[in-house]
Structure 1
Amino acid sequence: MKEDYFTEEFIAEMRERYFRPRKWEKVRPFRNAAVLAIDLQAYFLRPESRAFLPSAPRFVPRLVEFYREAERLGVPIIFTRHFHRDDIMTRWWGGNMPRDDPLNGLLDEFRSFAETVIEKRTYDAFHGTELEGILRKLHVETVVITGVMTHLCCETTAREAFVRGFNVVFPVDGTLTQNRFFHEATLRNLSHGFAVTSLLGEVLEWLSSG
């Protein structure tokens, strides 16, 4: 089920297939944005973990560069950190993600950007957290979804953000999952009803144009 799929060819194909210019034009005026960095934990991004995503070595440097530029532009970056114990997530996945496990900390490459970290216990970063309150306090109009995994926590959070009235940008190269099929399924669905599926570079051009 897992594969190293996150290539430049895959990214270009996904952008060509699912980017909707007319949707982008509807979102572009709403430049008061925040970046959501979903669950960028060693658990998913380090080879020694059972949940390691094979394309992580391709993905992490790209996202680090995006965060560096977003930070330079003064765009807030809000991180989430997932853990769960003895609940439905445990039953579904067959194990806990303990809060105190070192693998459940943020990957070292992202720590310098993580001034704000929200802890969550399910796929939805809004459920039972202070995320919406933080975004409202910042007068955020648009959220840019990045992180892992594309088809689970990232997609669920994107849908919930839309329901709460935020514009959603979901860059095709801003999230990662286990394989191309899960990744594409999310882009197919979100581009139809919930989010603009641009490139990270296009997001930076937009953020710097205001």
Structure 2
Amino acid sequence: MTTIPRENTALIVVDMQRAFFDNDDSLGRSGIDVTPLRDAIPGTVRLVQDARAAGVPVIFTRYVYMPGMVDFGPVRGAKAAERIASNSLGAGTDEIELIPELEARPDEIVIDKSRPSAFYGTRLEPVLNGMGVRNVVICGVTTNICVESTARDAGQRDYGTYVVRDAVAEFTAERNHYALFGIAWSFGEVVDIAEIESAWELETAEAV
């Protein structure tokens, strides 16, 4: 059975923001149906509750672009031009906020980023080092972009890396499958919430 440490571990909750779950926000308005991503909400809520109960620190990430979208990078990818035109995930907009089910507590850290990996161009690594963290449990959206990019960077930095299959979501089942396959093949372990609850000696609960 997989051993998932409780000590020296942090939970990284990737990009559980309004824009990724509400078709009335910019991604939905640009023609990207975000409905499939809602599958990540129940498991992620449960996992955050578990981490708090176990005394495992929770770190949230948000995808946020600076005013004028100056850090968007090359105009490529799904609906890139439309997203720039609509100030998608722009600083100061309501849609960059975490969903109500997952509001960060005052003592929890929120890391803003403008690239898929939570490590790239952010203070995440110094924060983890300062906390004495050597293992990361990762959940959120989307599996094959921001979750996978963060897991790859964590694995390559020699963190024990665990991605939670029932607390992530992707636009298609195929993309979700191959992202988890790649993570398990080379960068970390893919686990279930129940495995974490068992390892952390928590009472297993039904998903919220």
Which band: TM-score by shorter chain?
0.7 to 0.9
The one of 121, 130, 148 equivalent to 2:123 is: 130
Distance, in Å, in 2 between the alignment partners of 1:30 and 1:204 is 10
Moved more, 143-152 or 91-100: 91-100
Counterpart contact for 1:168–1:195, Cα < 8 Å: yes
| 1:115-194 matches, cutoff 5 A | 115-194=108-187
The 3 A distance-change label for structure 1 pair 87 and 133 is closer
Task: Tell me the equivalent position of 2:43.
Answer: 62
Pairwise CA distance, 1:56: 4.1
Task: Tell me the equivalent position of 1:32.
Answer: 8
Distance, in Å, in 2 between the alignment partners of 1:123 and 1:57 is 19
TM-score between the two structures when normalised by the length of structure 2: 0.81
Q: Which runs of 5+ in 2 are unaligned?
A: 203-208
Q: Which runs of 5+ in 1 are unaligned?
A: 1-20
The 3 A distance-change label for structure 1 pair 125 and 112 is closer
Task: Tell me the equivalent position of 2:96.
Answer: 104
Distance, in Å, in 2 between the alignment partners of 1:42 and 1:198 is 26
Counterpart contact for 1:77–1:113, Cα < 8 Å: no
Of all paired residues, the percent bearing the same amino acid is 26
Task: Tell me the equivalent position of 2:60.
Answer: 79
Deviations 1:84-109 (A, max 9, x none): 21445461222232111111111111
Counterpart contact for 2:13–2:58, Cα < 8 Å: yes
Moved more, 130-139 or 105-114: 105-114
The 3 A distance-change label for structure 1 pair 116 and 30 is closer
Counterpart contact for 2:10–2:137, Cα < 8 Å: yes
Pairwise CA distance, 1:143: 0.3
Distance, in Å, in 1 between the alignment partners of 2:95 and 2:72 is 21
Task: Tell me the equivalent position of 1:53.
Answer: 34
3-state SS, counterpart of residue 35 of structure 2: coil
